[in-house]
Structure 1
């Protein structure tokens, strides 16, 4: 049954990093402890918000933190989930128990690309089934589908690169972390029907509007879509000061209005009503504000097609060292300079 009015929660919780774990067994133990903590925090949050909260979004890489010096191979071994990982089953049990759609982000292995890993955004339905898997397309220090683009499209097609899940609570899509700064990602998802952008992130929060905060509002306005952005409440167990990425989880509506926003620390305060009926009326109305209906993609297609900036397919051969990421960006900057673009 379709539900066009419900509450959503951007749950701001601490990320317990696994970098100091000596092996996969220790890392998995830490991940399970995080899951146990998340289950109790979700249960308590829903008890406060009420049974009409049907969507919970978790922060970026909440189970593991991010690699800090580990090689691609070492991080894959220690911290990455399998596509059919039992931890997804555990998350599915949480979704079933509380009758929610549960969204998050994890580093993930793929048997089609055995020497790499991807940063994946997932959404699990109240049935416990995974209904959305999106692999981050833009990353500075992690492999992406674009780095193996031809083979990735052969495996999953364009629908797999830009997936949209049509669910009882609307058409859901994911935008990972600083991909919110790339308008093309959200636009491609909106062109495929996305109504709600799920945004797991781990970012600096302060008094002034950061570029990412501005981008969240911009992506909502441009696409007449909700943005549900869950930030970490800091990252524990690393040498980085733990509160460096702490606070500012928020929900932005289809007009660009910030409906809820929390400060620093673990918090369930960023929850708000999602009114899909209103957003759908907005998308159907005549006038200047309906930017989605005013888009003319054909105007820009040739410019994008002719542009050659960050190269695709640089990891088709499999194993790479972390130096690959900086080297590829440096070469890209040099090429942009030669073309007179910078």
Structure 2
């Protein structure tokens, strides 16, 4: 039997750039399930071929944001939840788990997910499946303008999962894994809270605009890597098909950044397995334990900032604890926040 817990100090990771086939035009949940099954079948073939090319030491594959369904295009929360969201113990995770088992890999991705603790809502969830086919990490996106987040039901979410469930880190044979969703790469606090818990590799599932100039998100990927002395494996979509937006609007630029901010691999546009590189845990850990100016992580003085954070009130928590809300709730809450912060002279 293969020992999936024995430490692996060096391996290859792949940010697999694949096309997302949106399900918005599907008529019902049954048609959506069929489209998702086809997406997983395509992935199984692409993953097998990619590993055959890269080599058997490819032990980590990161997939793009909402790779199974695309994102809601104005659908009410209840409609999207019923039609496009997967269940925590659903057939989709089972099918993806079989892929991870077959190839002895850690497989990371992002999906819209139902949670029985929060009926009527859904969360955008980053997940990691281990080589045994089990989901070992489930991170719910904390910053979103268009979807429910744990912060919108904060008190109940903490009761259900605790703070460690908000900022999960999976300690595995290939290092300490943590997930960041899409634009959350722009929020340094999320990565920092994960680094505080030992994160060594950030798995970034995204679907974003890419071009030859340095975008804010690309700059943030380098910043999050350097300031936390961690790898960033960022997988972007290769376009969004079956959607009203132009297909190539979110296409290209998947990359792997090391703990020094060096881009180890990067791909252009289109479906691609070109963004793969070595993850050297020994070197990372050696740098983290080396005294000196460049050991930024060990030089953090969080106590200096704690009071400012605890006193600041920007976007409010717990706005979705009671009653059904409509999609316009999110932008209305943001507008009220901007007005309040303007009155206080903060913005």
TM-score, normalised via structure 1 length: 1.00
Aligned match of 1:133: 138
Cα distance in 2 for residues equivalent to 1:4 and 1:41 = 26
Aligned match of 1:237: 242
Aligned match of 2:180: 175
Cα distance in 2 for residues equivalent to 1:80 and 1:156 = 20
Cα distance in 1 for residues equivalent to 2:247 and 2:342 = 38
User: Cα RMSD over matched residues?
Assistant: 0.4
Aligned match of 1:7: 12
Report the CA distance between 1:4 and its aligned residue. 1.1
Query: Structure 2: any 5+ residue segments left out of the alignment?
Result: 1-5
- Give SS of 2:117's match: coil
Report the CA distance between 1:69 and its aligned residue. 1.2
Report the CA distance between 1:210 and its aligned residue. 0.3
Report the CA distance between 1:125 and its aligned residue. 0.2
Does the 8 Å CA contact 1:250/1:258 hold for their aligned counterparts? Answer: yes
* Aligned partner (choices 243, 257, 261) of residue 262 of structure 2: 257
Aligned match of 1:123: 128
Report the CA distance between 1:318 and its aligned residue. 4.2
Does the 8 Å CA contact 1:113/1:318 hold for their aligned counterparts? Answer: no
**Given the alignment of the two structures, is residue 279 of structure 1 paired with residue 284 of structure 2, yes or no?**
yes
* Aligned partner (choices 81, 96, 105) of residue 91 of structure 1: 96
Aligned match of 2:313: 308
**Given the alignment of the two structures, is residue 146 of structure 1 paired with residue 146 of structure 2, yes or no?**
no
Moved over 2 A (4+): none
Aligned match of 1:39: 44
Cα distance in 2 for residues equivalent to 1:264 and 1:339 = 44
Aligned match of 2:3: none
Cα distance in 2 for residues equivalent to 1:83 and 1:282 = 37
Cα distance in 1 for residues equivalent to 2:342 and 2:18 = 42
Distance 1:296 1:99, change over 3 A: same
- Give SS of 1:139's match: coil
Deviations 1:76-135 (A, max 9, x none): 000001110111000000000011000000000000000100000000000001000000
Does the 8 Å CA contact 1:55/1:102 hold for their aligned counterparts? Answer: yes
Cα distance in 2 for residues equivalent to 1:319 and 1:269 = 44
Aligned match of 2:35: 30
Does the 8 Å CA contact 1:220/1:252 hold for their aligned counterparts? Answer: yes
Does the 8 Å CA contact 1:233/1:245 hold for their aligned counterparts? Answer: yes
Deviations 1:24-69 (A, max 9, x none): 0000100000000000000000000000000000000000000001
Deviations 1:162-190 (A, max 9, x none): 00000010000000000000000000000
* Aligned partner (choices 247, 252, 255) of residue 247 of structure 1: 252
Report the CA distance between 1:286 and its aligned residue. 1.0
* Aligned partner (choices 186, 191, 206) of residue 186 of structure 1: 191
**Given the alignment of the two structures, is residue 18 of structure 1 paired with residue 18 of structure 2, yes or no?**
no
**Given the alignment of the two structures, is residue 221 of structure 1 paired with residue 226 of structure 2, yes or no?**
yes
How many matched pairs?
A: 342
Cα distance in 2 for residues equivalent to 1:108 and 1:234 = 22
**Given the alignment of the two structures, is residue 101 of structure 1 paired with residue 102 of structure 2, yes or no?**
no
**Given the alignment of the two structures, is residue 323 of structure 1 paired with residue 328 of structure 2, yes or no?**
yes
**Given the alignment of the two structures, is residue 288 of structure 1 paired with residue 293 of structure 2, yes or no?**
yes
Aligned match of 2:69: 64
Cα distance in 2 for residues equivalent to 1:69 and 1:130 = 30
Cα distance in 2 for residues equivalent to 1:217 and 1:113 = 35
Report the CA distance between 1:201 and its aligned residue. 0.1
* Aligned partner (choices 264, 271, 274) of residue 266 of structure 1: 271
